[in-house]
Structure 1
């Protein structure tokens, strides 16, 4: 296939989780023989923080405006077998309408922020999608599965809403045996709705166990936040640095945004990346978690700092390591970027056949 993707960013992972997903998906598609073009709006905040200015897979092009986009890439969009428009693309409504007018192949909306998108649509405050555009996309690809997909079809008129989750890179996310620096670590951009859960599951545990060692990595945390003395703060880590951070932990913490907890079936990339590194996971709880990992066998679920501490201090080392290995096997069997590329191929074939 020839595939054209209009996404938020592939060149910069600063303050967003989109770049990691797109990098893996593009790599998986290219390795399976497809010609992939990624079109990214050139904006100053990503221009100043490009950790992959020249992605090695497919072809990446920056565009300055919608006029620039149409002037340079109309032929590519018209001739593509698949054109995807991602969530949070600047002027995504206008870009999506242009794609629907121009493309002759399958068109898709790739929602990496599904619960947020649906909430914004309900308020009439979504700047990158409008309800009237949804039926015009042949596929609605969603980071959230489960009942939400039926809702997208029923309420918004999507011809086919399908899950296309995040994934991991099995060549980058690998175990690296070393003496862990921290008992528990967390990797994630600051989010106001995630912070209370981070407080409850990690920081309360850190305060109750001064001898323990903890770490939080990610940008945009308010300067006024007060961290326990035994919590190390690490600023933004580029994706190639994620494995080293995971491997320096005995456990990694997964915390899910409130909208995604309410929707359920919304795994974060932390789950797959850490598991691929063989690092055991302690996660918050949400509907559908068990469809990705088996609680108690492939990860632990925590609802409080006391429960987190029980895992950190009472689980035998042999069982801790075995849990990490079980989760790694699950990820390599089901949740790599190549799995997502294959899934996308199947969806496109289904759409072309009118399924």
Structure 2
């Protein structure tokens, strides 16, 4: 199968979660022998910030970690879609793309549908459908075969607003070839958190579920991530938490191996507006086999078994209690980590998602053949 992906960036995961999932999907497609072309805009926001933050060596680091993956950089004005899409069987266009590009690819699909017959999907892995609906409504998806939404609640938004002819739920997942336990006898501390401070979408939550519990328990803790303003760095220092700076996502398993526990602190849009969506870091963290304590989020789609795959803390006091139990009871910690990892391997790997997408495409093809037969 010939697959074309148009994304914000494959090369950079700087504040860009879709790169995590895309790299795992791309690896899976390559391993099973599919032809894959990934297109990303030249000098994308994420790539520009990555190079500014960590230098061009960060791109070389990506190539060493993923030697089989590469992307094609393009300028929108000169992008030749006739050449790019001529032999496609499946095309995925991520939501962090220019509105014009999304429209032009849809127009190509409409004009050449009977000639090339590729399947075209819009891939939504963000909360803008509920936090910035005007921007999402401006995407012309009329010529797309459907939307792949990374949570049921987002699928329902597309359906209710009529933004696309078809919307389907397609969750993110972990690549267990990269995200797996890396046993180490060396411990650099008690707790580690890998996440970005970002746009103040979870400032209160980070104070309640991370900073205060660490400070009050006197834990040795480190935080990695980007977009930490001065007040955030001061807050970390006041809590006695070390700041490790920017971290390549593929380096997370090594970091996890040197700590005893981690936490998940969902952003406010996900807990209040998008229940059921854990974000990809939960899949990756559990795949690494480190005990996880999560701040509250509603697993309405039953992706996991809260309390068995990970511990759940309803407030800051409960977070302190859960962290203390994990740190004081190695058997409980090991059981929790093992259960979470087994759940990911059984249900939530990129191989699972590739097979699910195959089934989605097959179902649409059957629907179309049936419609033509009875026309």
TM-score using structure 2 length? 0.85
2:106/2:142 contact within 8 Å kept: no
**Which of 185, 190, 200 is 2:197 aligned to?**
190
What is the deviation of 1:229?
4.7
Deviation at residue 286 of structure 1 after TM alignment: 1.8
- Aligned with 2:190: secondary structure? strand
Q: Give the aligned partner of residue 172 of structure 1.
A: 178
Distance 2:102 2:243 in 1: 39
1:232 to 242, 247, 266: 242
State which of 303, 307, 317 in structure 2 corresponds to 1:296. Answer: 307
Q: 1:243, CA displacement in angstroms?
A: 0.3
Tell me, yes or no, if structure 1 residue 324 matches structure 2 residue 337.
yes
**Aligned-partner SS, 1:234:** strand
Shift of 1:290: 6.7
**1:11-22 map, 5 Å:** 11-22=11-22
Matched residue, 2:6: 6
Tell me by how many angstroms 1:202 deviates. Answer: 0.9
Taking the aligned partners of 1:158 and 1:23, their CA distance within structure 2 comes to 26
Cα offset, 1:149, TM superposition: 1.7
Post-superposition CA distance 1:209-262 (Å, at most 9, x none): 22x112211011002322235211111111221101122221111121221222
Map of 1:77 onto structure 2: 85
Which structure shows the bigger proportion of residues in helix conformation?
2
Deviation at 1:331, TM superposition (A): 0.5
Q: 2:216 aligns with which of 199, 208, 229?
A: 208
CA distance in 2, matches of 1:236, 1:156: 39
Deviation at 1:11, TM superposition (A): 0.4
* Structure 1 residue 204, shift from structure 2 partner: 0.9
CA offsets, 1:148-205, max 9 Å, x none? 3233113224232122222212122221223433322211122211222111101111
The match for 2:321 is: 310
Equivalent residue, structure 2, for 1:86: 94
Q: Which residue of 2 aligns with 1:268?
A: 279
1:52 corresponding residue in structure 2: 62
User: How many residue pairs get matched?
Assistant: 342
| Cα gap change, 1:201 to 1:265, in 2 (>3 Å) | same
The separation in 1 between residues aligned to 2:195 and 2:139, in whole angstroms, is 33
The corresponding residue for 1:199 is 207
Partners of 1:352 and 1:36 lie apart in 2 by 21
1:203–1:305 CA contact under 8 A, matched in 2? no
Q: Which residue number in structure 2 is paired with residue 135 of structure 1?
A: 142
Whole-Å separation in 2 of the counterparts to 1:44 and 1:10: 10
Determine if contact 1:139/1:351 at 8 Å carries over to the other structure: no
Report SS of the residue matched to 2:37: strand
Q: Aligned-pair distance for 1:309?
A: 1.4
Aligned equivalents of 2:85 and 2:210: distance in 1? 46
Superposed displacement of residue 111, structure 1: 0.7
Structure 2: 5+ residue stretches without partners: 52-57, 369-375
Moved over 6 A (4+): none
Find the counterpart in structure 1 of residue 352 from structure 2: 339
Cα-Cα RMSD: 2.1
Q: What stretches of structure 1 of length at least 5 have no aligned partner? A: none
